[in-house]
Amino acid sequence: MISPRAGFVLAGLALAILVPLALAATSPLLAWRQPVYIVAGFAGVVALGLMLLQPVLMTGVIPDLAPLRARRLHRGLGATLVAAVGVHVGGLWVTSPPDVIDALTLQSPTPFSLWGVLAMWAIFIIAALAALRRRLHLRPRTWRLAHLSLALVVVSGTVAHALLIEGTMETLSKAALCGLLVLATIAVIVGVRSRAQ
């Protein structure tokens, strides 16, 4: 049974993720978009929400969640996050290949594209390292350092990407979600540093 404290934390997380998603679904900008573009956009919103759960799972702030289960959820959600990013970029490619090519070759005139591409590659590198961790014989300390460094790139790139886009996401809920993501990431960094001392 879920304790009241755990229920409170989970409800807060659900609100932080679902409110921006629900508000994006009511955006008038969706009326002129192709279905593939809408799916791609919502995959980006879902990816942002999943990203918040990743550091939260590693900080231990969810009561009654065993560390081993938290790590398993972290890995599973990581794979889901990679898939969401793939759908986001793939959908944008279907609707506008030239824009995606400009973004991937770092020639896009829009600054948010650069930040998005930076975050995307960092996510893919984390996933590749996680999949090849045993084969590469990465020591736990090396893995943690690489993972955390790349995660900082992911978070900073994603937050910049999201905040610079004026799209379907409502401004205040998007800013709140990005702020929570930054705070959760800082909490992980502080926790790692305190354990290292």
Q: What is the pLDDT of residues 4-38, one digit of tens each?
A: 887 888 999 999 999 999 999 999 988 888 999 99
How far, in Å, CA of 98 to CA of 106, rounded? 12
Phi, psi of 107 (to 5 degrees): -115, 5
- Looking at residue 130, its pLDDT comes to 93
List of residues 6+ apart from 17 with CB closer than 8 A:
49, 52, 53, 177
- Looking at residue 14, its pLDDT comes to 94
Which tokens hold the place of 21?
A: 């998603």
- Looking at residue 57, its pLDDT comes to 92
Condensed to tens digits (0 to 9), the pLDDT of residues 54-112 reads 999 988 788 888 889 999 999 999 999 999 999 999 999 999 999 999 999 989 888 89
Count the neighbouring beta carbons within 10 Å of the beta carbon of residue 34: 12
- Whole-model pTM over 0.75: yes
Condensed to tens digits (0 to 9), the pLDDT of residues 147-184 reads 999 999 999 999 999 999 988 899 999 999 999 999 99
Per the CB < 8 A criterion, the answer to whether 23 and 170 are in contact is yes
Exposure string for 96-113, b = 16+ CB within 10 A, e = fewer: eeeebebbeeeebeeebb
